[in-house]
Amino acid sequence: MGDVVSSHLDESRREMITARTRDVMKDFSNVYEQQYAVALFNSVRFEIEGGGGTQSQLLHRKDPLAGHSIFSGSLFQYLEENRKWRNRFVHVPNSYTISLYESKAAHERHLHPKVTINCAGYKALTSMEEYMELINTSLPGIKAKVGSHPFIKCATQFPLILWHPYARHHYFCVLTEKEQKKWHAVLQDCVRHSNNGLSEKCTVQTPAFTDAVRLHRQAKGHYGTWEMMCGAPPQILANLVMETLQPELRNVIGPRLKGKMQQRQRNWMLISDAVYKQVLSQTTGQYEALVEACEAQRGPLDARLRTDMDQIITSKEHVSGKIRALVLPKAEQLLRTSIQPYISSILEALMDPASRGFSEVRDVFFREMVEISKNSLNGGSKERLGEHMERLSMLAFHPVKMQSCYEKVEQLNLEGLQQRFDVSSPSVFVSRAQILMREQMDNAVYTFEQLLHQSLDAQGEDDMCKAIQRCQDRVLKKYDYDSSTVRKKFFREALLQIIIPYMLQQLSPSCSPELPRFKELIFEDFSRFLLVENMFEEVVLHSVTKDIMMAVKEAAVQRRHNLYRDSIILTNSDPNLHLLGETPPVDWATKFGGNEPEDSFGGGLEGGGSGRRRRQVVSMIQLEGVPLPYESCLEVPGVELIPEEDPEMCDSREDDEEDSDLPEDPKSPDSVNEIRDLINPVVEVVLPVSKENQSDMTNGMEMSTATITLDDGVQEDVTHVTTLVEDVPRKSPQNKTSPQTILQQLVGSKKQEADKEHQEEEAIKNAIQEMEIQERDSERIAEVCAAESDSESSPKPPLATDSRLHDDSGFQSPSNEGLEEGKPQPVTNGLNGEDKIVDPVEVEVVLA
């Protein structure tokens, strides 16, 4: 593998990659330094003038994932070094980076992970077919056959693949479909979080960076949305370099690759990953130096801005007026012909799946409230309420429970509009909507927690159900308002992201040559804060903002979208609630449990210096203490040796394992036979019968009447006698007495002659009486039965009894001393006086 990379990435080619990266970073740095001053001006102006949108009705949690981890478990990983599958323990902390350890013990000992994956820019796939479609574009002119596997043969039919256009791919698999769905939801959440973009708290660095990347790409002719605008700034810059560098290297190196199609694809991905690592290491160092240099100038720039803010604003408005006179007529013409007819279509494509997604968030939250109310109504304990609230607090970050919400938005389709407005993929808008949905869910949960805690402290815990209901209704009303506000903002931003790049692409050829002459109208002292390119874009944005606002207002009137009209504005409607936002989060496990909260989600992980165990958001699939196959990280032997489980069978087995350590509760009889057994008790007696003569007998029940006294002194009537033949693999001597004869002498039969009927009834009565004598005097049933059936003076034969009766009774007759327990003993001295050896057979006596 190393030979392939080193042979195609020699010293000269690596120097070329370094030079190309340096050139891109130099161009970007010039744009970033300009945009940094503009972003600082906008930030200081906003701070002085104030403003902002409507106030949120729900509370915001400051650090929702403090003390939690997302998920951990074991799966199989494909190692490209030796092309083998190995078992790995995976830990996903609250930073959403994926750490793979050799075993769970290695993680618990705080050893370094084998692999750490930052999921920014990745896609989580669950089938080889999806993976093949993406691989087919890796090398031009090479198409893999449908169903063929590149590089690897998956160990199970449930794969999990992390795909990246430039970096290394990661291959995993699990044993069941249930595990695959849960792992896929977790991996998607890791990708979603990593692709969330830059922090909005950085009011200067974030807008400066995003504007610099956008302007740099526009200078190269790329105006539309960009999928690879994800991850940390160094990763985004590495993607920016690879956007142009990878096609060039592929055209040069691709034809030189040797081997079969699969081998060439594998070698190319190894080369691409090596190039990406080299580029990323350079962009990381150079970006850090760039930010450090700009931050060093922030103090003097900030002081100058605050001193000359009025003059700078006046100069900007003057220059913007001149640019508006040039641009506005062309922009309005473009709007009428090419944009206004499509605004309603774009908005409809965005609103329908987004509205369904936010509605599903409300439904999921409501269902969790119902579960908590049921616990209260059914007399649930405080500890039980604490467990429910602990789970509820992490509902927004539970990727499996939130999956139904995310799937609604994934149906977003801009087919037909993508080509016209140069939208590379709707994934940018899907990810943004999913992040907003997660934030709204967490806000609703946090607000409910604070309101319920306040209510319980004020009114006590006597009427907990009513308190839960009041808090629930209050939170749902606030959620409806906030979700409407968030959605309308999302629709406006999405429309601008789609329309503005298209307008700039259409207007730039005619307007950009005219812009340099407006620089002469700006004072030199203000030239760092006022750039004509930014003012040109602001004029274009303002020209279309009115149409977008009107379109969103018209959509708010439609009831099916559940949007509040802009005339309904709630400002500071609940000041007491917002005071609760300053209080610390409620630790429900401590409040109701009275002790240190354990990991209620399974698979607890060590915390920081506090000594508390981290609580895990997503529950473990495997139970704690249950060994996994190949837990010792041995090589996976092959596909045929890895058991595949049916999901339903897996569910039932897990349920059985969970309940195995718990004491069994009394259960009611579910079948007719069980009910009959309760009405008619059964007593089992073992009688001898030979193996050869068992064919003469059949299992059956015969009518009879008798009385028996049970242990508790209650007398029961015997109504039926059932004969059960047991096959005992033992060789019998010849001349055995027929078991048919023995049964006729013991229990009787209606088919016998009339003159023997009285004798049969007496035999049954005497047998039952002898059983009573056995319980009182510890005499064996065999002796009593033999005495009744044999009137001669021959010795009483010992009768073999069921070993289960011996074990359960807790006593042993002296006649059994020295006999081996657990094995049927031979019966000698037949009923007719002759010495015979026979095998046991069971006889059930059914009590009325």
∠ Cα 703 707 712 (to 5°): 130
Query: How far, CA to CA in Å, does 31 sit from each of 18, 24, 204, 296?
Result: 20, 11, 14, 17
Residue 117, Cβ neighbours under 10 Å: how many?
Answer: 22
Residue 44 is assigned to a structural domain of this protein: no
Residue 773 is assigned to a structural domain of this protein: yes
Residue 696 is assigned to a structural domain of this protein: yes
With 0-12 / 13-18 / 19 or more C-beta atoms within 10 angstroms meaning exposed / middle / buried, residue 28 is buried
Residue 77 is assigned to a structural domain of this protein: yes
Query: How far, CA to CA in Å, does 588 sit from each of 315, 379, 452, 514, 532?
Result: 57, 18, 11, 64, 56
Q: Is the pTM of this model over 0.75?
A: no
pLDDT of residue 658: 40
With 0-12 / 13-18 / 19 or more C-beta atoms within 10 angstroms meaning exposed / middle / buried, residue 39 is buried
Q: Which pLDDT band, with edges at 50, 70 and 90, does 312 fall under?
A: very high
Residue 219 is assigned to a structural domain of this protein: no
Q: Which residue has the higher pLDDT, 477 or 723?
A: 477
pLDDT of residue 373: 84
pLDDT of residue 706: 57
| Interval 759-765 mean pLDDT | 64
DSSP H or E stretch at residue 90? strand 84-92
Q: Which pLDDT band, with edges at 50, 70 and 90, does 50 fall under?
A: confident
| Interval 400-428 mean pLDDT | 85
Q: Write the pLDDT tens digit of every residue in 663-699.
A: 344 444 444 455 445 455 555 555 555 544 544 454 5
Residue 153 sits in a domain of what CATH number? 2.30.29.30
The answer on pLDDT for 736 being more than 80 is: no
Residue 422, Cβ neighbours under 10 Å: how many?
Answer: 15
Q: Write the pLDDT tens digit of every residue in 785-831.
A: 444 444 444 444 444 444 343 443 333 333 444 444 444 555 454 44
Residue 462, both tokens: 């006597």
Q: How many domains does the chain have?
A: 2
CB 551 within 8 Å of CB 347: yes
Q: Write the pLDDT tens digit of every residue in 565-613.
A: 654 555 555 656 666 656 666 666 666 654 444 333 333 333 333 334 4
The residue out of 194, 220, 252 marking a domain boundary is: 194
Residue 587 is assigned to a structural domain of this protein: no
The answer on pLDDT for 644 being more than 80 is: no
**DSSP string for residues in 618-643:** SPPSSPTTPPPTTTT-PBP--GGGS-
**340-377 and 464-511 are packed helices; what angle lies between their axes, rounded to 10 degrees?**
160
DSSP H or E stretch at residue 717? strand 715-724
pLDDT of residue 10: 86
Q: Could you tell me if residue 759 is left (phi over 0), alpha (psi between -120 and 50 degrees) or otherwise beta?
A: alpha
Contacts of 550 (CB under 8 A, 6+ apart): none
Residue with tokens 């943004």: 432
Range of the domain at 838: 677-847
Q: Write the pLDDT tens digit of every residue in 1-36.
A: 457 788 888 889 999 999 999 999 999 999 999 999
**205-219 and 464-511 are packed helices; what angle lies between their axes, rounded to 10 degrees?**
40
Contacts of 779 (CB under 8 A, 6+ apart): 770, 773, 813
Go through 296-312 and write b for each residue having 16 or more CB atoms within 10 A of its CB, e for each that does not: eeeeebeebbeeebeeb
Residue 378 is assigned to a structural domain of this protein: no
Report the range of poorest mean pLDDT among 148-157, 317-326, 428-437, 838-847: 838-847
| Cα separation, 555 vs 348, whole angstroms | 9
The residue out of 194, 210, 225 marking a domain boundary is: 194
Residue 179 is assigned to a structural domain of this protein: yes
Q: Which amino acid is at 407?
A: E
The residue out of 194, 225, 256 marking a domain boundary is: 194
Question: Rounded to an integer, what is the distance from CA 780 to the centroid of its chain?
Answer: 62
